[in-house]
Copies of this chain bind each other. A is one copy, B any other.
């Protein structure tokens, strides 16, 4: 299936990028210098690299009672674009893939911890979700989530120790991820969700919490991933902020398409507007590098 997006370049000309297969057509419309790579395989390869990095980082070692659930819960959590976007942003600014690998792994770990805790059966959760993926006792899942988060920060801090020269960037990334995952980011989104649930079906509150979840779990978290990748790849401040905005639009699009049930014309127009804003941010980068990362808005 071909999923295309319109790139509004300089507000006038348009370029159509093919995102899934049909490379011949997209090749004929790109400058000769562009090394064409199937974007879906680019995204898949980023995912695969982050997972491989994490599998090495979480060995099945003693105490098995600790590491076996951690291993399972990290790789069973739903995938998001955040870790891959982090690595892609690093590559767009000219960085090497391995420079962003620790941050991408940390982001994947933190999201797995959040997902694990979201599914805990607490006594004040009146309508427990279907526990299809609940393999361990709640006590163990609580503790595993609690163990995963510091482990993510450890991986990040260790990556700054090896070379030393990037310790400033690593500290900055730790601050970014702490904020995006913490009380003013994902956790705030979850608070709103809890309060939305407690309001027992009041539509306005439900809508408000959904909007907040899209912004915090979607927009801001993807923005954080992209900004962190750009920082670690050595991007300029302008590049970092452009990629932060690009990530924000990516996350908003993905959140809207996943969480809004009625995919009416109005929603799709909003999505299209966000795509255009996202692509506008990419215009400042080397044209040979923007094709792979532009795939994230073609979901």
**Which residues of A (127-183) have their CB < 8 Å from a CB of B?**
137-140, 142-151, 153-154, 156-158, 160-161, 164, 167-168, 170-172, 174-175, 177-179, 181-183
Report chain B residues within 8 Å CB of A65.
Answer: 191, 195
Interface string of A273-294 (1 = CB under 8 A from B): 0000000000000000000000
The yes or no answer to A66 lying at the interface (CB within 8 A) is: yes
The yes or no answer to A80 lying at the interface (CB within 8 A) is: no
Copies of this chain in the oligomer: 2
A157 CB, min distance to chain B CBs, angstroms = 4
Report chain B residues within 8 Å CB of A143.
Answer: 117, 187, 190-191, 194
Please tell me if the beta carbons of A67 and B183 are within 8 angstroms of each other in the complex. yes
How far is B144's CA from A156's CA once the two chains are assembled, in angstroms?
23
The yes or no answer to A295 lying at the interface (CB within 8 A) is: no
How far is B145's CA from A156's CA once the two chains are assembled, in angstroms?
21
Please tell me if the beta carbons of B149 and A122 are within 8 angstroms of each other in the complex. no
The yes or no answer to A70 lying at the interface (CB within 8 A) is: yes
How far is B123's CA from A124's CA once the two chains are assembled, in angstroms?
10
Please tell me if the beta carbons of B167 and A168 are within 8 angstroms of each other in the complex. yes
Report chain B residues within 8 Å CB of A121.
Answer: 122-124
How far is B184's CA from A154's CA once the two chains are assembled, in angstroms?
12
The yes or no answer to A114 lying at the interface (CB within 8 A) is: yes
The yes or no answer to A63 lying at the interface (CB within 8 A) is: yes
The CB with the most chain B CB atoms within 10 A, among A145, A150, A161, A177, is that of: A150
Please tell me if the beta carbons of B151 and A161 are within 8 angstroms of each other in the complex. no
Please tell me if the beta carbons of B194 and A140 are within 8 angstroms of each other in the complex. yes
Please tell me if the beta carbons of A183 and B122 are within 8 angstroms of each other in the complex. no
Report chain B residues within 8 Å CB of A194.
Answer: 137, 139-140, 143
Interface string of A93-129 (1 = CB under 8 A from B): 0000000000000000010011001001111110000
Please tell me if the beta carbons of A117 and B142 are within 8 angstroms of each other in the complex. yes
Knowing A124-B139, A183-B70, A187-B66 are in contact, say whether A161-B171 is a contact too (CB < 8 A): yes
Please tell me if the beta carbons of B122 and A182 are within 8 angstroms of each other in the complex. no
The 3 A-B pairs at the shortest CB distance, nearest first, are namely: A147-B183, A154-B178, A150-B182
CB<8 Å pairs between A and B, sample of 7: A67-B183, A117-B143, A117-B146, A157-B174, A160-B167, A161-B172, A167-B171
